[in-house]
Amino acid sequence: MKKNFLFAWLIVCFIHFHADARGFLAGAKKDGKWGFINDKGEWIIQPAFDKVLPFREGLAAANIGFFFDPLDAGNCQTGKWGFIDKTGKWVVEPRFDAVESFQEGFARVNTGASYRAYQGITLMGGKWGFIKKDGSWLIQPNDTLYTVFSEGYCAFKIPKGSKWGYIDNQNQVSIAPDYWTAGEFHQGVAPVMKGSSNHQYIDRQNVQAFPRSFRKAWPFSGDRAFVLDESGGAAFIDTEGKVIFTIDHLLQNENISLSFSEGLVRVPVEKDGTVNYGYMDKSGKWVIEPVYQLASHFQGGFSLVFIDLFYWFIDVSGRKIFRLPDEVVEDSKTKVIFKGIPHPNIGHFSNGLCRVKLLDQWGFIDKTGKMVIKASFEDLLDFSNSE
């Protein structure tokens, strides 16, 4: 009896594992068209689109008619965007000029945008609104500025006004526009700026969540949020507003923003004019010492780092897993190593695979650095769950 039960349990686990694995698809470009492949490199959705975005919440944005010319804005075409399911069937017919992926059941979409010559070739103009997964409108395109939905709330700003408020997922104003800035809700609170230099956290009832204010504050990532105190000192607070740890020698940059990913936060420190990156845990302990000249956030259990002229993937303990070969990290024409994060020839690990570029073709490597999907695609996106 026990053997039969164990056998049945193993079959269920096997089916569940393979169902999950089949759910991960990566956008792939071949002969000028985009489709989606599985982790064997097989076409699940045939290449028939001019541009796609990764799957999110069961749907992927896909485009018909897109064309981009980096030298001539007049030659660029936005095409029309819609959304497909994991079989490639249109769920929302292509009728938008720009879109973003679904988040909490809604996608931000644009009508009327076009490419213009402004600081390069830039997509500009049009009006934004939100659709539901069946293509019906939650908010029809208008002149209001919107962020994205998070925990049921979306920040908005009416152009003729000058302040931000929040709507709920029924398009009802939940928090009146009274703030100079408004961040996303996470852990039930959102960072807002009330005065010229007064940042605080509010809850969904628009009540200040913590008794203290900050010089700057960012949304929570997990149960930690990055803040600058009144004197500019960097720290992380918990969900009760208590300072858990401070950061010494943080790189001085007004645009810096730190957030946790997979339990670790990437921290740039500056000493004697030299900037290095390391990783702290949620208690503020250095888990990986700041010794890297460049570093990415952790994703899929790995981070890409640069040290002593080489790129490596490391795990969450800081162990070097494998080094990226020169043909991946350098310019194929000049043989000069690219120095930057993100890297133009390397993606992120997802579903155990990472996209890389060899010469002019893209493929996928596994967690040992072995090429498991041949570099035979014109372009690739990271794997995402289509379920």
pLDDT of residue 230: 85
Q: Provide the percentage of residues in the chain whose pLDDT is more than 90.
A: 88
Alpha-helix residue ranges (DSSP H) falling in the chain: 2-23, 326-329
Residue 18 has pLDDT above 50, yes or no: no
Residue 126 and residue 338: Cα distance in Å, rounded? 36
Tell me whether the omega of the peptide bond preceding residue 219 falls within 30 degrees of 0, making it cis.
Answer: no
pLDDT of residue 21: 52
φ/ψ region of 160 (left if φ > 0, alpha if ψ in -120 to 50, else beta) reads alpha
Residue 61 and residue 102: Cα distance in Å, rounded? 9
Give the pairing of strands 98-99 and 361-365.
unpaired
Q: What confidence tens digit (pLDDT) does each residue in 21-43 have?
A: 569 999 999 999 999 999 999 99
Give the pairing of strands 361-365 and 354-358.
antiparallel
Which residues pair with residue 292 across a beta bridge? 277
Which residues pair with residue 307 across a beta bridge? 310
> What's this model's pTM, rounded to 2 decimal places?
0.91
User: Which of these, 168, 104, 109, lies nearest to 135 by C-alpha position?
Assistant: 109
Residue 174 near residue 183, CB atoms below 8 Å? no
Residue 24 near residue 384, CB atoms below 8 Å? yes
User: Which of these, 88, 84, 78, 140, lies nearest to 109 by C-alpha position?
Assistant: 140
Neighbouring CB atoms inside 10 A of 283's CB total 10
DSSP string, 295-335: E---BTTBEEEEETTEEEEE-TT--EEEEPPHHHHB-TTT-
Q: What confidence tens digit (pLDDT) does each residue in 186-228 have?
A: 999 999 998 777 999 999 999 999 999 999 999 999 899 999 9
Residue 316 and residue 333: Cα distance in Å, rounded? 34
